[in-house]
Amino acid sequence: MEERFLPIGIQDFEKVAELALTQIDANGYSERFVVSGKQMFRVALVFSSDAKGLLGWKIK
């Protein structure tokens, strides 16, 4: 199945940001950095092709 990126409105930002953070956790992207012992943040950036830029971000 082909994935498509659909333009989103600002009202969908929260849902998309949560999906991105879930993907970061599910795929273990941050696990290799945990061993450093430093404080770590997971950041979801949401871009819009309609708005031609960054809609916002969410930090966990």
pLDDT of residue 4: 46
pTM of the complete model? 0.68
The band of 60, judged by pLDDT with boundaries at 50, 70 and 90, is confident
Q: How far apart are CA 51 and CA 60, in angstroms?
A: 24
Per-residue pLDDT of 23-54, as tens digits, reads 999 999 888 888 888 888 899 988 877 777 88
pLDDT of residue 57: 85
The band of 9, judged by pLDDT with boundaries at 50, 70 and 90, is low
DSSP string, 32-58: HHHTT-S----EEEEEETTTTEEEEEE
The one-character DSSP state at 16 is H
Q: What three-state secondary structure class fits 24?
A: helix
Asked if residue 28 lies in contact with residue 40, where contact means CB atoms within 8 angstroms, the answer is no
